[in-house]
Structure 1
Amino acid sequence: MSDQIFNITTPIYYVNGPPHIAHAYTSVNSDVIARFMRLDGRKVWFVTGTDEHGQKVAQAARAEGCEPLEFCDRISARFQDMNRLMNISHDDFIRTTEPRHKNAVRAMWEKLKASGYIYEGVFAGWYSVRDEQFFDEAELVDGQAPTGAPVEWVEERNLFFRLSAFGEALLEFYDSHPDFIAPASRRNEVVGFVREGLRDLSISRASFDWGIPVPGHPGQVTYVWLDALLNYATSAGYPDSLAANGVWPADVHVVGKDIIRFHCVFWPAFLMAADLPLPKRVFAHGWWTVEGEKMSKSLDNFIPPERLTERFGVDGVRFFLVREMAFGADGDMTEVALQRRIVGELGNEFGNLAHRTLTMIARYCDGRTPAPGVLTAQDEALLAQAAAMLPALRLQFGEQALQAATQVIWNVVGAANKYLQDEAPWTRAKGDPDRLKTILHVAAETLRRLALVLQPFVPDAAANLLDQLGVGPQARSFASFDQALVAGAPLPDPRVLFPRPESAPPPAGAMPSPM
């Protein structure tokens, strides 16, 4: 495999409130990609973190009666707790209040200024504090931002970035790098926006002081989006070692579709102006809704991750978040959907497949890995389908098509369940023990491969199953995908992979209606 470091990032999460399941969704999907790449022999640099400056944070801290940094420390810790809860395997957690990031922002200011892309002027326009974004009069909907956030008229002397100078360069870049923005619907949105013409961007603020000071301009702090976007380069070593450590450019920035313009217009323009390599791809995922409304801290309809993990387990929630909706589309979170994916598919279909196979091995094979006899066409067909998973998954992961990847796996789960049902090994115990062992060998080999490719999605359950199959830690990467089980090896007693969650409805207040 390639020695190039695979760099994947989540957006850094804004700390004006605690994390909810939509944040977990972004992090879990990014984690699944990072884990897959590591298992496939890639060196990985997986970055997440918190965005801690700006007017919204200052207002939230004031409402809590504390200083902004104290508030940021507390909320950032909540996001780190979420990462631990959801088993996120990040390599770096960056906070924009860290000295290394402040140093990077100062260096970027000096670079942009030296390149001639910064000038001083007066801004006057409609500003949304909630979105940290300016809007034209024509963009307002009933006097509000397109997101529904209130806007206020702002006039102040700021520093500007000559974004207007990069329209043609951006369009040429999109054209020569058709995979830069995904999915295609988001690419069309960004290209259309740039073609309408870009206006210069105000990149400092004088109306509040919770931000990174602009070098040489007392009273001005850095616009939160210039500050926040630079985190990706800070983590990769900017300004000291960006070109030398093999981490940059990023292979994929995973973001929500609501911030696609910042990442696909502002961010590449900043990098072009600073003469730095651009990321290879920005993937914009969709939104979870509850009763048709986007989950949002501002709308107060979010679901804390722990409310789901307490009931369905961490692996169950991880599986649901990847499996339920196509990565890039929107989806609605309901009780029926949770039960179908976690109890029905993960527990009944996969968990039951594993448990009954291992239970029959314990009962009919003296608890030892069965050796195969002569393989039938049915045996070879299942083994071939299981063997074909990894190349198919590599293609799906290359496109961040994670739900499609789970379908590749679930096709094999379904085929394995049908195989056992058709072959009925329990009927061979007395009359045909050799055939019984062959059937259970095929089932166990299929389970081994399923457990290997499910590690990115349900890491704890997959490790549990590999333990029960007698697969040691040294044989759990994809390099061992074709390394068969050792016949005759003693296996531990079978254990249930996915204990069934309580069948009773969730407790009052556990989730918003309709769950």
Structure 2
Amino acid sequence: MSGKTYYITTPIYYVNDVPHIGHAYTTLACDVMARFMRLDGYDVHFLTGTDEHGQKVEKAAAAAGMAPQAFTDKVSQAFRDLIPKMGYSPDNFIRTTEPRHYRACQALWEKLVAAGDLYLGKYAGWYSVRDETYFAESETEVGPDGKRRAISTGADVEWVEEASYFFRLSAWQDRLLAFYEQNPRFIAPESRRNEVISFVKGGLQDLSVSRTTFKWGVPVPNDPAHIMYVWLDALTNYITETGYPDPSAPNAKYWPADLHMVGKDIVRFHAVYWPAFLMAAGVAPPKRVFAHGWWTIEGQKMSKSLGNVVAPAALVDTYGLDQTRYFLLREVPFGNDGDFQRRAIVQRMDSDLANTYGNLCQRVLSMINKNCAAAVPVAGPLQAADSALLDRAAALLPQVRTLIGDQAFNEALITIWDVIGDANRYVDAQAPWALGKTDPARRDTVLWVLAEAIRRITLLVQPFMPTATAKILDQLAVPAQARSFAAMDTALASGTALPAPEGVFPRFVDPEAPAKPARAAKKA
């Protein structure tokens, strides 16, 4: 381990519903980042968890006939169950109902009081329970049914008047704009950065940060009639995990976070409120907030009423774990909205995985098994075509490292698959099956070059498809300690015994498709 740290977080997921494809997508992106950085020598801390306070949870628990804590225990488990199902590798799962989180929230509150950034007043305005968000009059509209809703989300809003503590957000406008200017990578992608800067330039109002009309939340220090606004509470989870406010805590080394991964609907909370809270309390803000897009399903917005909400577990059960992981990050430029289409995932499985990557591995390893005594072949002098393929494979790591650092997951996969395409074309051009008859030594060199290219490619695909790539590396007899990027230049050793090859990416067989009729036997 190099001593370089990398702290990455998902948003903590709200426990008023079960996990869907949007939750799976965010955590998957974080998992790929975490796995990549571990392979690249970083001391990684990857955090996910659940946001369990607020009026919405209190109401949902009441509707279910349960106490809030029992309700959150049950629904939080659904998010924990998704971790092994999707092959995620978090270092911890945090819940905002943990005692350590109460301590961190109250410590942050007291810092804001000491800084003079909190004051007691009265809130009167529109509030969405569903979004746990305050809206200005101009951000709402009255629908045909006479109900007032938030324009941006469509959620019903209600008029609220109550005593409240306020955070002096209005005092942070210029300081936030200066911070964005000095840290151009803080908000991504560019469209979200422009959106946030425009919002801040439009003027910031002081933010209500406590409630008195319900009780399910973190009590305000020295004023238990108030509980903290759920977003101040929720955002604090990221420093709770580092042991805040104890600078000597074991995890304190990970702050500031390197990346908060969020959906585009909550970028304002992470890129405006959160850095302002932290800087007011004398805490460094995170280094980067990336807000990705949303998924629709076959061209329609996901909704319970349409019955089209996609459960991640169902995707894995139908298409396979690595296939699902690959599709979600390959299909759409990360940051854009995407549309999940069944025919698209099947096409990716059959074309990209079975025909392109899987077929390359299968035919090369099968030829080695048959012609080279089931061992890594001996490489003779390299020709220009050999060096060209090996050079392209060797150039992948710095290229992919840059793309992953920018969260350009689909571009990273395109770049890797371009080299897989080169390897397939090299097989066809060199025709090792024919060389066996005319020049066996040259055949062995070609097969070694191919095996070595597959090894380099597969090391880089590991974060995306850890199970499938482990099988491929097993078939290349690459030891566990030689699967990090530090071992990228440790070439395959000629003579190493290889196991019998097995296919890794089968073509998709639709379990609901009607069976084809059996062919009639030919007459003798």
Pairwise same-fold verdict (TM > 0.5):
yes
Q: How far apart, CA to CA, are the structure 2 residues paired with 1:202 and 1:301?
A: 36
Aligned residue type for 1:65: G
Aligned residue type for 2:162: E
- Choose 426-435 or 328-337, whichever is displaced more: 426-435
1:287/1:295 contact within 8 Å kept: no
Match of 1:214 in 2: 220
| Deviation per residue, 1:337-369 (Å, 9 max, x gap) | 101222220122101111111111111111111
2:349/2:508 contact within 8 Å kept: no
Classify the secondary structure of the residue corresponding to 2:28.
helix
Classify the secondary structure of the residue corresponding to 2:257.
coil
Aligned residue type for 2:350: V
Q: How far apart, CA to CA, are the structure 1 residues paired with 2:287 and 2:401?
A: 18
The normalised TM-score by structure 1 is: 0.96
Classify the secondary structure of the residue corresponding to 1:496.
coil
Match of 2:377 in 1: 370
Match of 1:42 in 2: 42
Tell whether 2:426 aligns with 1:419.
yes
Q: How far apart, CA to CA, are the structure 2 residues paired with 1:140 and 1:381?
A: 60
Q: Which 5+ residue runs of structure 1 have no aligned equivalent?
A: 508-515
The normalised TM-score by structure 2 is: 0.94
Q: How far apart, CA to CA, are the structure 2 residues paired with 1:268 and 1:298?
A: 37
Tell whether 2:520 aligns with 1:499.
no
Aligned residue type for 2:124: A
Match of 1:382 in 2: 389
1:96/1:231 contact within 8 Å kept: yes
| Deviation per residue, 1:457-510 (Å, 9 max, x gap) | 000111111100010011100011011101011100111112333234489xxx
Query: Would you identify which runs of 4 or more consecutive aligned residues in structure 1 move more than 4 Å?
Result: 296-300, 504-507
1:311/1:501 contact within 8 Å kept: no
Sequence identity, in percent? 56
Q: How far is the alpha carbon of 1:296 from its aligned partner?
A: 5.6
Q: Residue 506 and residue 226 in structure 1: after superposition, are their counterparts in 2 closer, same or farther (change >3 A)?
A: farther
1:123/1:202 contact within 8 Å kept: yes
Classify the secondary structure of the residue corresponding to 2:402.
helix
1:370/1:441 contact within 8 Å kept: yes
Match of 2:299 in 1: 292
Match of 2:201 in 1: 195
Match of 1:179 in 2: 185
Q: How far apart, CA to CA, are the structure 2 residues paired with 1:473 and 1:158?
A: 56
Q: How far apart, CA to CA, are the structure 1 residues paired with 2:281 and 2:4?
A: 23
Match of 1:123 in 2: 123
Q: How far apart, CA to CA, are the structure 2 residues paired with 1:434 and 1:84?
A: 46
Q: How far apart, CA to CA, are the structure 2 residues paired with 1:293 and 1:267?
A: 32
Alignment of 1:8-23 (within 5 A): 8-23=8-23
Match of 1:511 in 2: none
Match of 2:412 in 1: 405
Alignment of 1:214-253 (within 5 A): 214-241=220-247, 245-253=252-260
Q: Paired residue for 1:357, among 334, 353, 364?
A: 364
| Deviation per residue, 1:117-147 (Å, 9 max, x gap) | 1111111111111111011111114431121
Q: Residue 25 and residue 3 in structure 1: after superposition, are their counterparts in 2 closer, same or farther (change >3 A)?
A: same
Aligned residue type for 1:98: E
Q: How far is the alpha carbon of 1:335 from its aligned partner?
A: 1.2
| Deviation per residue, 1:217-247 (Å, 9 max, x gap) | 1321111000000000001111113787311
| Deviation per residue, 1:183-220 (Å, 9 max, x gap) | 11101000000011111111111111111111121321
Classify the secondary structure of the residue corresponding to 2:255.
coil
1:68/1:210 contact within 8 Å kept: yes
Q: Paired residue for 1:311, among 285, 309, 318?
A: 318
Q: How far apart, CA to CA, are the structure 2 residues paired with 1:365 and 1:31?
A: 38
Q: How far apart, CA to CA, are the structure 2 residues paired with 1:330 and 1:427?
A: 48
Size of the aligned set, in residue pairs, is 507
Q: How far is the alpha carbon of 1:378 from its aligned partner?
A: 1.0
Match of 2:456 in 1: 449
Q: How far is the alpha carbon of 1:89 from its aligned partner?
A: 0.8
Q: How far is the alpha carbon of 1:439 from its aligned partner?
A: 1.1
Aligned residue type for 1:304: A
Q: How far apart, CA to CA, are the structure 2 residues paired with 1:443 and 1:317?
A: 27
Q: Residue 297 and residue 482 in structure 1: after superposition, are their counterparts in 2 closer, same or farther (change >3 A)?
A: farther
2:4/2:41 contact within 8 Å kept: no
Q: How far apart, CA to CA, are the structure 1 residues paired with 2:412 and 2:106?
A: 42
CA RMSD of aligned residues (A): 1.6
Aligned residue type for 1:131: D
Q: Paired residue for 1:165, among 164, 171, 174?
A: 171
